[in-house]
Amino acid sequence: MPTVLVVDDDEDVRVVTSISLARVGGWNVLEAARGREAIDIARDQQPDAILLDLMMPDMDGITTFGHLQDDPATRDIQVILLTAKSRVGPRQPWDGLAVAGVLSKPFSPMDLPGQVAALLGWEIPRP
């Protein structure tokens, strides 16, 4: 069963995301509230994927992703960015990054696991 690390500084979003991925997706879920915490957990636990909030205090998602990519222990973990930013212009902060995809917040907790699975090429287990 895949393990997903959910990284978001908003506890409510983190909890909803984790419950959605665990109960609907059937996956193991780890949580982090900050970028540095996410890097440490990713290095220690080696999740199969990371859902990474773009806007966080201290270390934003792009910076966190850069640190994950720079570390041989974490560079192969697939990352999906979560963002509340709407598309304003033709260029986005994640353009050119080797992320598996970008999902917008707010999202439907019932649809999220399917969206994640589609981006990662995973199956959602059926009861």
pLDDT at 86 over 70: no
pLDDT at residue 65, as a whole number: 94
Strand, coil or helix: what is 3? Answer: strand
**Measured CA distances, 77 to 53, 67, 84, 101, 107 (Å):** 15, 12, 23, 13, 23
Q: Which of 19-23, 85-89, 114-118 has the lowest mean pLDDT?
A: 85-89
Cα(27)–Cα(36) distance, integer angstroms: 23
Express each pLDDT in 60-83 by its tens digit: 999 999 999 999 999 999 999 998
The one-letter amino acid code at 77 reads I
- The structure's pTM equals 0.90
